[in-house]
Every structure is written in C-alpha cells, then in structure tokens.
C-alpha cells in the first residue's frame, strides 16, 4: 500500500485533510504552507540603483525564485528528506495561484529529495468529506502547467512593469522630496483612475436651481403626495402654485399599474459576494474575502474564489439545504422553502469551481463570520428553493385646472425570495388604486426649491463593479486594489466613499500627460485576456510575455521622453500633501 506526504495551502485545510485521511484509513502525513513559500525577483545586478529601469523589460530570463517563508521552507525540506519512501500529493487551492504554490512545493520536493518521479494533485471545492473523497479518488498525476504558466505570466509581468515604472516615478519624485515610493501598477492605477474620474465629474458639475409644486391629495381617507415636473423658471412655477393653491380638487386623468418581476439572485460568485457584503457590513472587500476564506478553511462554505454563477447538472442541492436547515436560520426560513430545487442559473463558468454555497451549519455566536455565512446561506436558499417576487408599479397623472401633477408608487403582490433574502428589498410606496375621473381632495400645496446633484463618489461596491466590467484583476485579486490605493496615499475613504488625495489626482494627471493608456483600463484588459489565453493553452508563456512587455516598454519610453511632465505633476502633488 502506497504511503503519502500531502501538502495543503493553509494549516486549517491541512487539519481537515488529516481527519479525512484518518477516516478513510490512508497512510498520509499532512503538512501545509502559509500561502506562497517563494517569491520571484531580479538578481542583485538588476536591483534598484544598479541598472537603468528600461533594461528590466529585457531581463525576464534573469528573474529567479527566492525563498519568502523560510520557516515553512525548512519544515518542508526536513519533511521531504525524512519521508523519501512517500509519494507527494499537492493539495493547494484549485486555481492558478494554488497551482503556482503547488509548483513551489514540487520544486522544494525535487531539490530536497533528488526525486523526479510521479506525484499527485488533489483538486477540491470544499472540505466536506464527500468532496474530499471524490477528489482523492480522481486525483491527477501532475500539475496543470497551463495554470502554472498563467500564474507565472501574471507574476513576471507585474514584477517587470511595476518595478520599471515605480523606479522611474520614485526617482523623479526624490529630486525634490524624500519619499519612500511612488508606486505604479497596471491594476492599481486604473483603479485609482476610476476614483479620480468620478471626482472630476463632481468638480465639473454645474449645480442648477429648479422649482416644483408638491401637492398632498386625499382619496377615501388615504393621503399621498404628487408633484409637478421641475421648472427652471421660478416666476412661472409661482404662477402655477397660485392656481393650484386656489383649487380644491384634482381629477385623475391617467392611472396605470404595470406588473414587474424581481428575479431571484443568481448563484453566488466572488464578485457578487464582495459587492453585496461591503454594502451589508461596511467592511472592505479584502477583509470580507479573508473572512470567507477562513470559513472555507474551517469547512463551513465551499471555495470562495470562483467566477461561476451556474450549478453543474449533477449538483446535490439537498446537501447545502440541510446545512441551512440545521442552523440557527431554520425557524425563520423553513416555511418559505419550495419542495424541489429550481435554481436560477447565470452564464459564467470558470470551469474550475461551482458557485459558493454553505457546507455545514455555523454556530450561533454573533460575529462577522456568522454575518458572512448567513448571507451565503440565505442567498443559496433564495436562488435554489425560492420563487421570484412580483409587484405593480403605479403611475398616476392628476389634472388641477389643466396643470398635470404626477405620482409614482409600487407594491408587491408576492414577496417570493425576499422572505428569506431581504438585504436589498426596496421599500414599498403604495398609492391608492384609482380610476380615470376619480376626484381627489387637495389637502396641502407647497412650492419647493431643489438643486441638481453631482454624481456620488464611488463606494467600494461601485469600484469593484467598475473593475469587474473593465476586466481589471480577477475574482481572486480585485479586493486588493481599493485598499492598496489608500495605503499608497493616492485615495482616502470617507463615509464609505473614495476620495482621491491631491497626490492621487496629480499622479493620474502625470500619467495622462505621458499616455492615457497608462491609466485607462483598456491596456490592462488586453493583458488579462492574454493571461486567460495562457491558462487555456492558446498562447505560450514566452509569447504572452513578449507581446505584453513590448507594449508596455513603448509606454515606458514615452515616459522617459516626458520626465518634465512627471516631475511637474508629482511636485504639485507632493508639495500639497496633507
């Protein structure tokens, strides 16, 4: 019987795997990393100050792996040397970063043992023993080299471009001020650009004054408000106000109630989860993702990094449902569960993971972990075992002395999934059900003044949606960048909204003065597309790096020719820093 040495990506996952192998009576020693064991970096001769940054674009072949976590590295080397008779099993997360960590583990294993033979790869989407058993019985021989190359492409590209541009901008800034770093990245900079672009829209907005007339009507003892359109001419609005104020009644000239349907939420993927939970909790997306990963590591939910919002045909819907029904949620939602599953399916499928769903009941203690688990559980039931909601949108036109006045409202005819998932349920505003010709008593008339408003600053949910729509980052990385632009002092967050700092504004202006492609999302989207093609085996790693780095080298040369633009804007930004 074969013996194994199994390496997971996190200690908590290793603990679950250890229990699993004991349960199925497999002789396995289980250990783990704590994420990446190694980093990539340039050798000493290419370090900051030793070389012109432009040379980095031709130095990919000189990039080397260096040990990042020395403690885990030593533990793995000793473990492998002590167990030469055991077969290696890589049990890292089932995505491209997990595959790269698996490659690091394999590299350490081969260097430590001198063995170059067979090894296995376990792929699983949850720590439920049924899923682990499926994974064990279907373990693969070897890593997916397409996924390894996809992760290496991202790592190499980000290192080369980030190092070259950051060195250039920092050196320009240091000519007039001591600064630690002026950081540029092909994902963080478009993220900042979205924030700056919204601030510009707000600053260029011209506020306009308007007038309107608000009327309180009564019909069969029920009161409701209606209003005229907005008027730019105050004198004209005052004339109409006098006419309406002198009237006792209005007459319904049009009444329409149109049926609408609120669809159930789609199966949960990472982007949806982060956008919703930043609104629900007020916490940052990076923090929420860490909480979700901890819930996964402890076996409460499935793998939380997924770009899939549709369930496979053979999915066992009852198993997650039982986790919900055995939880603290049972009493509040059991009455609203349909007898058979009928999920509303999305269109995204990353071919690696199912949507996020509950695995086992979460204990009742009050914490952010409970809030996140409850959201995942409620969304699962709403999607799979609930019905769509429907209601009616009401539109009323009322004439007072031939002056049209309007009211809009709505009410639900069936609450459907909102009974179990009411996080974003709109507040009803029902109007009386009227007929053309009905006479309404005027109770109050007010002439009101309003002002047009600029667009709101971006919330984190808004920013994540813009990043997703524009192809900036992946489900696994998007959560990093909103926090990063704050840490770099390019933006701040006030009342849940992003505001660019003066440095952030001037940095974007400097980049636009070189070439707008350094800030807009189009160029990075092209890089993300290339990265996906590497993962699909359609483009080789070397070819993708050659294409993308050549494109960014052209931008770098432009930056070198426009150093005066960089210097001027950075000077203005850093001189006015608060």
Classify residue 268 by its DSSP letter: B
Q: pLDDT above 90 covers what percent of the chain?
A: 91
Closest listed residue to residue 296, CA positions, set 461, 437, 126: 126
Closest listed residue to residue 570, CA positions, set 218, 290, 102, 175: 175
The confidence score (pLDDT) of residue 476 equals: 79
CA atoms of 563 and 361, how far apart (whole Å):
58
The confidence score (pLDDT) of residue 510 equals: 94
| Ramachandran class of 416: left when φ > 0, alpha when ψ lies in -120 to 50, beta otherwise | left
Instruction: Give SS3 for 478.
Output: coil
Mean pLDDT of the chain: 95
- Taken as a whole, the chain contains a residue count of 578
Residue 177 binned pLDDT confidence (cut-offs 50, 70, 90): confident
The pair of three-digit structure tokens given for residue 285, joined into one six-digit string = 């997306």
Question: β-strand 64-67 against 38-41: which pairing, if any?
Answer: antiparallel
Cβ-count burial of 137 within 10 angstroms (0-12 exposed, 13-18 middle, 19+ buried)?
exposed
Question: pLDDT tens digits, residue range 510-565?
Answer: 999 999 999 999 888 999 999 999 999 999 999 999 999 999 999 999 999 999 98
Closest listed residue to residue 503, CA positions, set 492, 517, 516: 492
Residue 351 binned pLDDT confidence (cut-offs 50, 70, 90): confident
Closest listed residue to residue 309, CA positions, set 272, 281, 267, 341: 267
**What predicted TM-score, i.e. pTM, was given to this entire model?**
0.90
Question: pLDDT tens digits, residue range 41-58?
Answer: 999 999 898 899 999 999
The pair of three-digit structure tokens given for residue 403, joined into one six-digit string = 């002056």
Which of 26-30, 398-402, 463-467, 473-477 shows the lowest per-residue confidence on average (mean pLDDT)?
A: 473-477
270-384: CATH, from 3.30.310.50, 3.30.465.10, 1.10.260.40, 1.10.290.10: 1.10.290.10
- CA triplet 454, 460, 461: central angle to 5 degrees? 90
Q: Does domain 149-204+456-575 have CATH number 1.10.460.10?
A: yes
CA atoms of 270 and 305, how far apart (whole Å):
6
Domains of the chain, by residue range, sit at 4-34+69-143, 149-204+456-575, 209-263+389-451, 270-384
pLDDT at 39 over 90: yes
Which of 293-297, 364-368, 411-415, 556-560 shows the lowest per-residue confidence on average (mean pLDDT)?
A: 364-368
CA atoms of 342 and 336, how far apart (whole Å):
14
Which of 174-178, 227-231, 424-428, 439-443 shows the lowest per-residue confidence on average (mean pLDDT)?
A: 174-178
pLDDT at 576 over 90: no
User: Which residues, 6+ apart, have CB-to-CB distance to 455 below 8 Å?
Assistant: 198, 201, 202, 205
CA atoms of 85 and 251, how far apart (whole Å):
91
Closest listed residue to residue 131, CA positions, set 290, 33, 13, 5: 13
Convert 517-530 to b/e letters by CB count within 10 Å (16 or more is b).
Answer: bbbbbebbeebbeb
The pair of three-digit structure tokens given for residue 282, joined into one six-digit string = 């007020």
Question: β-strand 87-91 against 209-219: which pairing, if any?
Answer: unpaired
- Please say whether the beta carbons of 94 and 142 come within 8 A: no
Closest listed residue to residue 320, CA positions, set 416, 387, 384, 388: 384
CA distances from 296 to 82, 204, 290 (A): 31, 46, 10
Residue 474 binned pLDDT confidence (cut-offs 50, 70, 90): confident
Residue 152 binned pLDDT confidence (cut-offs 50, 70, 90): very high
The pair of three-digit structure tokens given for residue 469, joined into one six-digit string = 């729509």
CA atoms of 172 and 167, how far apart (whole Å):
9
The CATH class given to the 4-34+69-143 domain equals alpha beta
Superfamily of domain 209-263+389-451: Topoisomerase I, domain 3 (2.70.20.10)
The confidence score (pLDDT) of residue 391 equals: 98
């Amino acid at each position: 019987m074969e013996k194994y040495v199994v390496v997971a990506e996190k200690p908590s996952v290793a603990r679950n795997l250890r229990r699993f192998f004991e349960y199925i009576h497999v002789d396995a020693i289980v250990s783990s990393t704590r994420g990446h064991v190694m980093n990539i970096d340039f050798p000493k001769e290419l370090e900051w100050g030793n070389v012109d940054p432009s040379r980095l674009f031709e130095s990919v072949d000189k990039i080397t792996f260096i040990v990042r976590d020395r403690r885990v590295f030593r533990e793995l080397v000793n473990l492998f040397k002590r167990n030469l008779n055991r077969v290696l099993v890589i049990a890292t997360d089932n995505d491209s970063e997990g595959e790269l960590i698996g490659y690091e583990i394999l590299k350490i294993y081969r260097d430590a043992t001198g063995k170059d033979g067979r090894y296995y790869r376990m792929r699983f989407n949850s720590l439920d023993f049924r899923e682990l058993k499926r994974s064990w019985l279907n373990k693969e021989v070897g890593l997916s080299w397409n996924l390894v190359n996809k992760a290496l492409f991202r790592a190499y590209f980000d290192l080369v471009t980030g190092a070259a541009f950051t060195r250039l901008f920092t050196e320009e800034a240091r000519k007039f001020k001591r600064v630690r770093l002026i950081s540029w990245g092909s994902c963080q900079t478009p993220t900042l650009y979205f924030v700056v672009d919204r601030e510009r829209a707000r600053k260029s907005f011209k506020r306009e004054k308007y007038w309107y007339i608000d009327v309180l009507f009564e019909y069969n003892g029920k009161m409701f408000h209606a209003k005229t359109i907005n008027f730019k001419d105050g004198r004209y609005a005052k004339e109409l106000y006098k006419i309406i104020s002198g009237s006792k009644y209005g007459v319904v000239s049009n009444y329409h109630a149109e049926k609408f349907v609120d669809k159930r939420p789609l199966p949960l993927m990472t982007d949806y989860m982060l956008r919703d939970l930043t609104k629900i909790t007020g916490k940052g997306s990076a923090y929420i993702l860490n909480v979700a990963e901890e819930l996964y590591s402890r076996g409460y939910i499935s793998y939380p990094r997924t770009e899939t919002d549709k369930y496979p045909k053979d999915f066992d819907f009852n198993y997650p449902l039982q986790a919900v029904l055995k939880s603290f949620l049972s009493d509040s939602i059991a009455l609203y569960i349909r007898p058979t599953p009928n999920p509303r399916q999305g269109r995204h499928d990353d071919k690696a993971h199912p949507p996020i769903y509950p695995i086992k009941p979460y204990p009742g203690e009050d914490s952010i972990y409970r809030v996140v688990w409850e959201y995942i559980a409620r969304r699962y039931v709403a999607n799979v075992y609930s019905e769509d909601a429907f209601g009616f949108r009401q539109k009323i036109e009322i004439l007072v002395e031939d002056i049209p006045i309007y009211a809009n409202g709505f009410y639900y005819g069936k609450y459907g999934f909102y009974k179990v998932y009411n996080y974003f349920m709109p507040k009803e505003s029902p109007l009386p059900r009227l007929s053309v010709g009905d006479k309404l008593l005027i109770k109050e008339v007010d002439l009101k003044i309003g002002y047009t408003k600029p667009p709101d600053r971006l919330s984190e949910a808004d920013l994540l949606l813009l990043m997703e729509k524009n192809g900036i980052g992946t489900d696994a990385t998007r959560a990093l960048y909103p926090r990063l632009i704050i840490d770099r002092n390019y933006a701040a967050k006030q009342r849940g909204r992003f505001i660019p700092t003066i440095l952030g504004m001037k940095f974007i202006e400097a980049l636009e003065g070189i070439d707008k492609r350094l800030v807009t999302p189009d160029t990075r989207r092209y890089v993300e597309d290339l990265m996906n093609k590497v993962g699909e085996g359609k483009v080789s790693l070397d070819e993708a790096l050659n294409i993308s780095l050549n494109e960014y080298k052209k931008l770098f040369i432009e930056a070198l020719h426009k150093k005066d633009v960089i210097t001027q804007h950075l000077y203005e930004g850093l001189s006015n820093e608060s």
